[in-house]
């Protein structure tokens, strides 16, 4: 790849497994003067039965190796189809796209080493075979971004802070980029930050618990609480909320990362038990999970960020950025900090993570590192991802 600008597709599916987000990005230059311009974004939903299987697998339900192999390749086909459909929507020929960066679908992430056959082991697994994407689209594809960081004893997450640093660092303002996907994660950018000053970690659950409760109580008729309508109808239960804020994960010192392995089926079972104890209605419980999402972010900021770093702006992206109750709670609990959706800075709330993986892929193909050890805990810089070359034309 030469020094001219390139069109890159970034693709992402988060822990909620709602579907595949696709971003078309024009990228040029090199850090610290790397330029990225979002040209379009699209989203493709997973078929309901396949989404159910993804969530079943991510909840660590029994699975034979053959089924995992089939799911990996089937998702590769879906990611390829999403890329093709997005280019059709953007009215851009596939031949004009230089590169695809695909995060894939996480089905397991263990960032901290745990005992395994006599040795502490950390691991991660994202599926959605990149070779299939490259073959179907005819575009060289970078995937499997997290293992290179973990090989250097990092947690392999979060990786989006590299993009946050390029997009949001400011000479005069301290900023935090908050992404509210299935899990909530923050990137802390002190005023005039250098890369080694960036702090980033997962603060706790975001949409994951809310969506699971909504799906359960509506028997699957709804997948999320649009505009927090159900939560707004619930009562506030301070004692229940206090119990949730005692979550041990909140007290862990960064770097740290989490996912469905922790905030999945077992956690939801505990939440139902708390609901019964406090005689919470379905909407009461949805409200509690919604406010817990906001206050767990606030807890992380008060515990690990604000004592040492002056922050003026909290920039919010992800599906939770459309939840007015979460935004109101954040604004009320963080006086003096402006809470604003990322769209106000030119990056739509639902596009940022897909854009980030376009940037990471671009750096991979230029053989440049794109992890931030201050965020992941890695022992050094890593060139992320594996490259699947397109078939010869």
Cα separation of 252 and 338, whole Å? 27
CA atoms within 13 A on the CB side of 163: 26
The two three-digit tokens of residue 125, written as one number: 């697994």
Mean pLDDT of the chain: 96
38: β partners: 25
CA distances from 237 to 225, 268, 277, 304 (A): 19, 17, 11, 26
pLDDT in tens, 146-200: 999 999 999 999 999 999 999 999 999 999 999 999 999 999 999 999 999 999 9
Centre a 10 Å sphere on the Cβ of residue 346 and count the other Cβ atoms it contains: 9
Query: In the CATH hierarchy, which fold is given to the domain comprising 6-156+351-388?
Result: Nucleotidyltransferase; domain 5 (3.30.420)
Query: In the CATH hierarchy, which fold is given to the domain comprising 161-345?
Result: Nucleotidyltransferase; domain 5 (3.30.420)
Supply φ then ψ for residue 35, to 5 degrees: -110, 130
Helix (H, G, I), strand (E, B) or coil at 267: helix
pLDDT in tens, 5-55: 999 999 999 988 889 999 999 999 998 889 999 999 999 999 999 999 999
Do 215 and 223 contact (CB within 8 A), yes or no? yes
pLDDT in tens, 224-271: 999 999 999 999 999 999 999 999 999 999 999 999 889 999 999 999
Q: Do domains 6-156+351-388 and 161-345 have the same CATH topology?
A: yes
Helix (H, G, I), strand (E, B) or coil at 177: strand
- Examine the pLDDT at 343 and tell me if it is beyond 60: yes
pLDDT score of 345 = 94
Domain boundaries, the chain: 6-156+351-388, 161-345
Cα separation of 243 and 389, whole Å? 50
Pick from 320, 266, 249, 259: which is nearest to 106 by CA?
A: 259
Cα separation of 130 and 140, whole Å? 9
* DSSP H or E segment with residue 341: strand 338-341
Cα separation of 53 and 70, whole Å? 12
pLDDT in tens, 347-374: 999 999 999 999 999 999 999 999 999 9
Put simply, whether the predicted model's pTM sits higher than 0.85 gets the answer: yes
């Amino acid at each position: 790849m030469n020094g001219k600008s390139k069109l890159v597709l970034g693709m992402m599916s988060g822990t909620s497994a709602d579907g595949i987000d696709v971003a078309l990005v024009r990228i040029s230059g090199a850090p610290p003067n790397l330029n990225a311009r979002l040209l379009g974004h699209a989203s493709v939903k997973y078929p309901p039965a396949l989404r159910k299987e993804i969530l079943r697998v991510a909840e660590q339900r029994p699975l034979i190796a053959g089924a995992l192999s089939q799911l990996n390749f089937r998702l590769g086909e879906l990611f390829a189809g999403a890329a093709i459909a997005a280019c059709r929507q953007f009215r851009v020929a596939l031949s004009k796209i230089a590169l695809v960066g695909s995060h894939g679908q996480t089905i397991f992430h263990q960032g901290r080493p745990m005992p395994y056959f006599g040795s502490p082991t950390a691991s991660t697994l994202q599926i959605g075979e990149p070779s299939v994407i490259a073959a179907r689209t005819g575009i060289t594809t970078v995937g499997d971004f997290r293992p290179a960081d973990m090989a250097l004893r990092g947690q392999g997450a979060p990786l989006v802070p590299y993009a946050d640093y390029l997009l949001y660092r400011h000479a005069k303002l301290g900023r935090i980029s908050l992404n509210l996907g299935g899990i909530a994660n923050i990137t802390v950018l002190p005023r005039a930050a250098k890369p080694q000053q960036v702090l980033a970690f997962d603060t706790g659950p975001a949409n994951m618990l809310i969506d699971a409760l909504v799906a359960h109580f509506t028997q699957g008729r709804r997948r999320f609480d649009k505009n927090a309508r159900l939560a707004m109808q619930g009562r506030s239960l301070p004692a229940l909320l206090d119990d949730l804020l005692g979550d041990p994960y909140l007290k862990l010192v960064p770097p740290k990362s989490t996912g469905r392995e922790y905030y999945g089926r077992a956690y939801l079972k505990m939440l139902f038990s708390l609901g019964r104890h406090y005689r919470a209605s379905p909407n009461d419980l949805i409200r509690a999970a919604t406010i817990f999402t906001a206050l767990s972010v606030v807890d992380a900021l008060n515990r690990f960020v604000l004592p040492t770093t002056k922050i003026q702006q909290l920039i919010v992206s992800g599906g939770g950025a459309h939840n007015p109750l979460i935004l109101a709670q954040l604004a009320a609990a963080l006086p003096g900090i402006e809470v604003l959706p990322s769209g106000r800075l030119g990056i739509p709330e639902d596009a940022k993570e897909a854009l980030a993986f376009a940037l990471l892929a671009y750096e991979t193909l230029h053989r440049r590192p794109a992890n931030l050890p201050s965020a992941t805990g890695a022992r050094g810089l890593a060139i992320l991802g594996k490259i699947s070359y397109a078939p010869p034309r």
